[in-house]
Amino acid sequence: MSAMDRFDPEILTLFTAATATQAPEAKLPERGDALGLREVIDSGLANIPRPSAPGIESSSHLVGTSDGSLIELRWYSATEDKRTDRPAVVYFHGGGRIGGKIDHYDGVVRHYVQETNVPMLLVDYRLAPEHTGTTAPEDGICAVEWLIEHADELRIDTDRIAVMGDSGGGGVAAGTAILARDRGIAIARQILIYPMLDDRNTKADPTLEGLVAWNHDTNWTGWNAVLGDAIGSGGVSPVTAPGRLNDFSGIPRAYIEVGDLDIFRDESIAYARGLYDAGIPCDLNVNAGVMHGHDLMSFDMELTRRTLAGRFRAIEAL
């Protein structure tokens, strides 16, 4: 089997078509250039497909953080949804902890809300290298607390709040769940989509070399921006890097999805194993032939429809 034959046929077809019509990709910034990598990430995320999502309304809210800063929270719900005891999801966008904006994910979140009828709160958490350590999950806790404080006006059942995110945002969601556990704040579920969990995952895997969209050098750049010289060392907080977690007691049940052609595959499996060992339910989905961020390439692939369907079920289970 050739290396390219390891990809799902739909992804391979999409690659072939893109190669025929697009200019060669620009060279990635050097390892450690977080701001240069941010430009690449933001450029890519600006082109995320935006499925039509009529009937979804949104509102923007500026919320104070634990250190006195302000972050934006964007609330999405179906206009016709009049329920008074709704579940809700707090969502963290992708971007390797150094890139991404909530505007990039506006269409994605609208699509989730339309398909599940579950309202969502999209969090403009702060990014590294300007904001390091536990800042992003601390912002996540601020978002969860704001949602709880406004539960009556938003018609939310505070016993059915989930955290969700993809890639770097998946790691922030997991860190927020850990921090919530430690502070006695109830989270019902965590939905982690190819999550970035472990700062020690920075050595190339020869079985994935040349096949992955987010590689070990870019992963080092992202984690180095968050942790600086502490990257890979002892004492890194699991709130920042959830892959460091040893005590899984009290962590909410999880839905975890990752492709087998993703450098986050093994850390996702390890995190699920930690949940299993603690007796916590976890729906782990490792998809063959699937790369990091496949769903953000096209919403029209049958592959994307299948993976989205799993996420919809996890959201609806709230």
The string of pLDDT tens digits covering residues 97-120 is: 999 999 999 999 999 999 999 999
Domains of the chain: residue spans and CATH: 4-15+30-316 (3.40.50.1820)
The mean pLDDT of 158-180, rounded to a whole number, is 98
Helix 168-182 to helix 135-149 angle (10° resolution) is 70
Q: Which residue has the higher pLDDT, 208 or 271?
A: 271
| Cα(241)–Cα(264) distance, integer angstroms | 13
The predicted pLDDT at position 13 comes to 85
pTM value surpassing 0.75: yes
Query: Looking at the annotation, which residues are catalytic?
Result: 167, 262, 292
Burial (CB count <10 Å: 0-12, 13-18, 19+), residue 253: middle
Round the average pLDDT of the chain to a whole number and report it: 94
Write out pLDDT tens, residues 14-58: 767 655 555 455 578 999 999 999 999 999 999 888 888 899 999
Q: Which of 20-29, 54-63, 85-94, 265-274 has the lowest mean pLDDT?
A: 20-29
Predicted confidence (pLDDT) at residue 124 exceeds the cutoff of 70:
yes
Q: What is the pLDDT of residue 18?
A: 59
